Structure 1
């Protein structure tokens, strides 16, 4: 039987799995693989400036397409840079294969140059992690890794010494794509479980639905169920893009960055139905309501709050089977009250998303609202953690075609631009918008060079408020004087132009719409530097007594520290918000 170079067989297997590109930074321990890619010419090498960005980009591609995406790092420091991005991929539950090159196999265990232990390093951020130490081992190990990543929807890591990639084997790839990647089964709870769920819902008075990203593909069923139950639908952040559009039962998001209407609908119900969500914040769950939960992952059941009934199953298929069992008619009063509450919450938030031309104070909500209004109907948005996520959650309008991604579970800074790179590589014809914080952008700013070098027409909206805004706000809420949060930023637009991107800077509300329009319309990569108010507050849906005490203590400390001007500025910036509160 003829022998095949391991690197060629590796690439051939990736081709069979439908992989179109690999994100990474080259290195000598990857030379066998990159040479095979060059020679075969079937898979693109996407050259980023930091391997962390490679992992974020691969995760974005996997999340948006639902298909296996791949990133790679050379031995030692190269693949160490992957780890943070891979944690995000694994916690978001997206299928990613990470190739972690290793030092020469004969040197392993000798404290060799750049030596690390990939299996130990990556095991906590993966569903599968193995080292290929023998050429004949590679085909089976790679097949297993691919099946694990896709089947478990997580990260699979294959570590391989550079010299092993240059050996030969008589091994073969899988016989077909369906042999490598069998179709996933649709899981439906048993009839007894469905009957118990129907009985619980038929006995319930005021039902609220909490819907997450597990509702993807189940929008029609969700709306039908809410109609039968006359239940307000609250969504977690991960479910926003799949739940809130064309939904007459939607009452907004809950959580720290949610709506008061979403919070109230959760707290006022006597029965909570959780659909495809692992929403983590216990303080936002009702304490006395009965709770039923449907999730594909049994480990998610009852993890965040005590439940009365848990069902393992696909959300859409489970709803299809339980709907015929629901018999109780409802008057809809609870839903009407929740929807009226939502209309008030929505109106209050929209009133804050404006600006007065000539004032020199740009509210970040204003920027987010204008971006939403002017972006394409099928735009993909990637938002940085912190306040950009707040504005995205509250002001980006989803429609069933738009997508919204971020580091919603892992909460890493610097995710938005790399995720936008992955989105644009996967969808070259779609408008991709990165909603970047000034802190997040600066952390992986080298990826602006990636955007320019690859000619990716990513649109970058920078919320330039000169601070790590969410952290500053948390400090104030805890009664502390903000420390270590200030950012001495450059003119990001001028910097973008120096790099070779189109750059626009806006410093007044009267410039916002024209600036956003110009950047979104530009045919190539473009950056909007929006200089926004540092002291803007993003209030939670429910203000606790402790938070009120904390802000009072902060203001007293600020005045005593000779920083009374910051209190005046906070009052001016948030005058509209304070008016609605008081």
Structure 2
């Protein structure tokens, strides 16, 4: 009889608190948790195992990658991204990816474990007060101390992450994870929960106040030379942005994170501003009398018009962010798509199109010069040629993820948004290494689409083990490594400060990441000649599994700003005079660039 009783218990185990958490995640539509197991979350892993038919666990090789995957998933889908890590070092590793989510306003729930309740505060092994560690990064941050709190606090955490477009965090002691679900050992009052028929989450209203829309229309209608600056907050308002641009005869500047808002071949697009921007974009800032900022909190104020030079309207979802970058005559609070739809009937169609036509001509000249830099004739291989090949052969609905570095400049200028293409990067944190984890998460979210990670050797080297994660998960991502064996962005930043480069170039041999890809059981191709780039990229994009192309590119190709300022040129010259070690090859590369632009 005792044997039968044990067998019956094994067949129908006690429902544990971790199950209440996982079940609630599934109720909210969470289909994947990105993470790495550890002894601090064994109970949570058991909850996931018992409900693996509802929520998939995607095993990674570094917790930082798990947080990047959750952030990338949230950025691309607009849904909640979830990551899981053990106590102590595991929770610490999540932080970089969580700050990426926080600063780019992506809804992410981080779940961590901690030591049993009885030993907290005793200096136990791997004991880190995660709730204090996460005090800045998390909008909602709780140590679950009673099984009866679940699933109520899960609801609050997820609502907070979605409503505030940020990070929520729950940490569960080991003993709470495996305690009987719903049990209340202290007989406390259980928080009230909504009935099952109530919606779990109601989004905030997105339509601005009518009086604000009327004031915005008055300013925009009065402008003679209007410019639009659009950001990631307008990603789902493409048609509305284009309609406003057409009505106002306004060229459109796109921020880096807002690159996919409108197509690059649109007659209104003039590229970006700032170090990654275009000359037409920079010149438009100097030439407009009215600036309409839509869904952006562009932080680089030195690239915006000086205070008082232009009239400014800003359509922004968060009242806190309205007007903090520019003196804003009319701040309009609301969703970009809904706000523009209500604004459009109030706008007068501008008959004078000369302002738009002037900047269209400038953009045509810029595009011709930029295209010339992607020549296959260059030796060493020009990095622009690599991203131009990706752009040429990728599908019209491809998703490009990018690391931070010189690759960001090349992607910003040579990855053209057309039709349903998208682009994701660490925007405000600008951290290295998210390109590969983003690609894994996005390929998981969109299995039918082409997902390409365009990364530098520095960023790829940080989390390259996650390529094996893609292989094991059978995710057919394409990784293209722009390999200059150098921390290129820092090299050029040192020179712009007037200093010769120092400590940014790795020793030979140049790493062969293609060999690593083959060792993982995937397609790996090493490219050292410009004529072989196109073939390698085409092969990788058509391969049915994970593929990697590692291209040795010119380390002395400078990511020049769209419009070089006098102080920048002066500091560059000072670095040469002080003994820049590669000044001859850099000068030669700059000369080649100019020749290609004139003859391309």
TM-score range, shorter chain: over 0.9
Cα deviation, 1:268-322, whole Å, max 9, x if unaligned, reads: 1011110111111111111211111110111111111222121101122222222
One of 146, 150, 164 as aligned partner of 2:162: 150
Between Structure 1 and Structure 2, the one with more helix by share is 1
Contact 1:13 1:174 in 2 (8 A): no
Superposed CA deviations along residues 44-67 of structure 1, whole A, max 9, x for unmatched, are 111100000000011111111111
2:424 to 384, 405, 421: 405
| Matching residue of 1:573 | 589
Would you say 1:34 and 2:45 are equivalent positions?
yes
Partner of residue 21, structure 1: 32
- Give the 5 Å matches for 1:92-491: 92-170=104-182, 175-176=195-196, 179-182=199-202, 184-245=203-264, 247-287=266-306, 288-327=309-348, 329-356=350-377, 360-488=379-507, 489-491=510-512
How far apart are the structure 1 equivalents of 2:339 and 2:73?
28
Q: CA deviation digits over 1:495-525, x for unaligned, max 9?
A: 2212322110111111110011111111111
Q: Contact conserved, 1:73 with 1:99, CA < 8 A, in 2?
A: yes
Q: 1:60 — aligned with what? A: 72
SS of equivalent to 2:524: strand
Once the two structures are TM-superposed, the CA of residue 102 in structure 1 deviates from its matched residue by 0.9
Once residues 312 and 296 of structure 1 are traced to their aligned partners in structure 2, the CA distance between those partners, rounded to angstroms, is 5
Secondary structure, counterpart of 2:555 in structure 1:
coil
Match for residue 545 of structure 1 among 557, 566, 570: 566
Partner SS for 2:270:
strand
Q: Give the Cα separation in 2 of the matches to 1:396 and 1:178.
A: 44
- 3-state DSSP class of the match of 2:20? helix
- Distance change in 2, residues 1:177/1:539 (3 Å): farther
> Residue in 2 aligned with 1:530?
551
Equivalent position SS for 1:237: coil
CA drift at 1:400: 3.7
In structure 2, what is the Cα distance between the partners aligned to 1:88 and 1:504? Answer: 31
Query: Could you tell me how far 1:355 is from its partner in structure 2?
Result: 2.1
Distance in 2 separating the partners of 1:103 and 1:198: 57
- Tell me: CA distance 1:177–1:506, structure 2 relative to 1, closer, same or farther (3 Å): farther
* Distance (whole Å) between structure 2 residues aligned to residue 169 and residue 524 of structure 1: 41
Once the two structures are superposed, residues 84-119 of structure 1 have per-residue CA deviations (whole angstroms, 9 ceiling, x without a partner) of: 000001111111110011111111111111111111
Contact 1:355 1:361 in 2 (8 A): no
Aligned to 1:77: 89
Give the secondary structure class of the aligned counterpart of 2:525. Answer: strand
Distance across 1 between alignment mates of 2:422 and 2:513: 26
> After superposition, what is the alpha-carbon deviation per residue over 1:120-178, rounded to whole angstroms, capped at 9, x for unaligned?
11121122111101111222211100111112221111011111011124379864486
Question: Is residue 87–residue 125 contact of structure 1 (8 Å, CA) maintained in 2?
Answer: yes
Gaps of 5+ in 1: none
In structure 1, the partner of 2:103 is: 91
- Indicate if the aligned counterparts of 2:208 and 2:334 stay in contact, CA closer than 8 A: yes
2:3 corresponds to = none
Cα distance, 1:181 vs structure 2: 2.4
SS in 1 for 2:259: helix
The answer to whether the 8 Å contact 2:163/2:204 transfers is: no
TM-score (structure 2 length as normaliser): 0.92
Does the 8 Å contact 1:360/1:507 carry over to 2?
A: no
5+ unaligned residues in a row in structure 2: which ranges? 1-12, 183-189
Structure 1 residues 189 and 173 mapped into 2: Cα distance closer, same or farther (>3 Å)? closer
CA contact (8 A) 1:13 1:173 kept: no
What secondary structure is seen at the aligned counterpart in 1 of 2:83?
strand
- Output the aligned Cα RMSD: 1.9
CA distance in 2, matches of 1:240, 1:130: 36
Question: Distance between the aligned counterparts of 1:524 and 1:176, measured in 2?
Answer: 42
In 2, the alpha carbon distance for the partners of 1:574 and 1:509 equals 18
Distance in structure 1 (CA, Å) of the matches to 2:519 and 2:45: 31
Deviating more after overlay: 487-496 vs 225-234: 487-496
TM-score after normalising by structure 1: 0.95
SS of equivalent to 1:250 = coil
Question: Residue 85 and residue 110 in structure 1: after superposition, are their counterparts in 2 closer, same or farther (change >3 A)?
Answer: same
User: Mean alpha-carbon deviation: is it higher for 185-194 or for 37-46?
Assistant: 185-194
